[in-house]
Amino acid sequence: MKSFAFALFLSAAVQALPATVEVSAPADGPAAIRVSAGGDLQAALDRANAGDVIELASGATFTGNFVLPAKAGNRYTILRTTPTPGLPDADGRITPSQSEKLAKIRSPNGAPALRAATGSHHWRLMLLEIGPTASASGDVVVFGDASPAQSTSPGMPHDLVVDRCYIHGDAARGQKRGIAMNGASIVVMGSHISDIKSTSQDAQAIAGWSGSGPFRVENNYLEASGENLMLGGAMPGANGLVPSDLVFRRNHVARPAAWRSEKWVIKNLFELKNARRVLVEGNLFENNWVDGQPGYAIVFTPRGEGGDAPWATIEDVTFRYNVVRNSSAAFNLLARDSNGASGTMRRVRIADNLIYAIDRAEWGGNGTFIQIGEGPSEITVEHNTIIHSGNVLTAYGGSRDAPSVAERFVFRNNISPHNQFGVIGQSLAVGNQSIDAFFPGALFLRNALAGGQASRYPGDNLFPDMERFARQFVNFTGHDYRLKSDSEFRRAATDGADLGVNFVMLARTIGARAREWLGLSQSTP
C-alpha cells in the first residue's frame, strides 16, 4: 500500500512539472529530479521531498531568485550539478577552472540567487556555480535574513551545507557578500568564493551575525576586500544572540596583491565582533595592507552596535597552527567596544603559529605582531615564530597613571626580532615598565627577542643579536623558519619543547597543502 501511494504521488508530481524537469525514483526511495537547460528550477525545489536529489544540467544557467523551502523530515535534499567527470571528489576543492562543467545559478537583480525560507533545513548545495547578482550588490547566498522570525527556533534556517561550490562576484564590479551565514548547523566546505569586493562598503566572503551556530568552514578559498570572514558586525535579530561554535580549518584566506593598485576598500582577513567558542587552525592568511583600516590581518574587537547589543562579546577563541604572512600587521585585540556598550573579551589563545613577512615597508602600516587595547583578560600568546618589522607587543588604554590592565596575561616561548620598541605600552618605556603597568603579574617567560636588551625585560628570556638569531633557522633569508637540528632554541621552552611554532604539528594540521603554504620545495626534507 505504501509503495502504491508513493507511486501515485510520484505520478502526480511528474505531471505537474514542466517537460524540462524529469523525475525518476525507485518505488520506496528518494527521487532523482533532473532539470535540463531552460527548466523550472523553483518548481523542482518546491516539489522535492526530503532526501531527493535535484540534478541540474552541466553548464546550464538558471536565472532567478530561488528559495529553498522548508521540508518535512531530516534527510538532506541535495541540489547539485548532474554527475560530470573532472569535478573534485568529496575531499577536494572546486576551482574557477572547472566553471564550464558546473550548472550556474544567477540572480537577475540585486536580490540573492539562493536564499533559505523561514524554517528551511537539511539542504545541501553541491558542485554549483552561484553568482554574481546582476546588480553586483547584495548577497549571493542567504542562509537566514537576520529578521526576528529567522533568528530564533523554529524559524531559524538550519542544517545547511555548501559543498564544493564556486560562488563569486563580478570581476569588474564586485559583490557585497558571498554567503550570509545566519542560521544553525551550517557547513561551507571545499568551495571557492572570490571577487567579493566593493569600492564603498565592507564586503565579506562569509559573514554571520544573527545565527546561533554551530558553523564549520573548512577547506575553502575565501577572497574579499573587507573581511574574508566575519562574525558579528550587525544587530542580531534576537536579543542576547552570540554566534557560537565556529570551526574554521584549512582555508586559504587571501586577496590578490593586484588589488593594491585598484579601488577596493581593504580592511582585514578575519574578524570577530561577536563570537563564542571559536577554533581557527591550519589556515593560510595572506595579503593584507593599509587602506580602509590600519592593516591588521586578524582582528578581535567586540562591538555592541552602538550599545543596542550590550551582550556582544568575544570569548574562548583558539587560534593555532596557522600561517599569517604578507601583511601590514598581524593581530589587533580590543577588550571592549570603544563606541558603546559591549561585553569584554576573555580567554583567547594564540599559539603555534608561523607569522612572517609582516613588513611595514612592503605593506604599509606599523609591522606590529600584536596590539592589545583596553585590558582583555586571560590572553595567552605562546610558541609562535614571528618575523616582522615593528613592535612585538603594543598595549594601550586608560591613562598613563591608570592604564587598562590585562589580567592573567601569558607571553612565553615565542621567537621574534625585538626591533626598535619590542614590548611597549602607551606613554611608557620599553619592556618592564610597560609590562608591569599593562600586564601586572604576567607570565613573560623564555621568549627569544633578537636584538633586545635583557636589562629591560623580566629574567628567563633570551636576547641574541640578529645575526645569531638568523643562524638558528634552516634558511632565514629563504623563509624556511624551521629550526636547525643544533639550534639553541631546540628544547629550550618552559614545557621542554622547542621555542616557537611546532612545525610538525603545523604541517600535520594544514594537511595536503603544507609544503605549498610553508614555502617548502618537494625536495626539502
pLDDT reported for residue 246: 98
Single pTM value for the model: 0.94
Q: How far is CA 39 from CA 16, 35, 133, 449, in A?
A: 13, 5, 20, 64
For strands 32-35 and 21-24, give the pairing.
Answer: antiparallel
Determine how many CB atoms are found less than 10 A away from the CB of residue 239. Answer: 13
Edge-to-edge strands, sheet with 329-334: 66-68, 114-116, 139-143, 177-181, 204-208, 227-231, 268-272, 296-300, 329-334, 370-373, 393-396, 423-425
Omega before residue 154 within 30° of 0, cis: yes
pLDDT reported for residue 310: 94
For strands 284-288 and 473-475, give the pairing.
Answer: unpaired
pLDDT reported for residue 3: 40
pLDDT reported for residue 445: 98
Q: What is the pLDDT of residues 186-218, one digit of tens each?
A: 999 999 999 999 999 999 999 999 999 999 999
- CA-nearest of 174, 344, 314 to 230 is 314
The total number of residues shown for the chain amounts to 525
Q: How is the chain split into domains, by residue range?
A: 266-525
d(CA 192, CA 7): 40
d(CA 433, CA 458): 10
Give Cα 33 to chain centroid, integer Å: 34
pLDDT reported for residue 26: 59
Please list the ranges in the chain whose pLDDT falls under 70: 1-20, 24-28, 340, 521-525
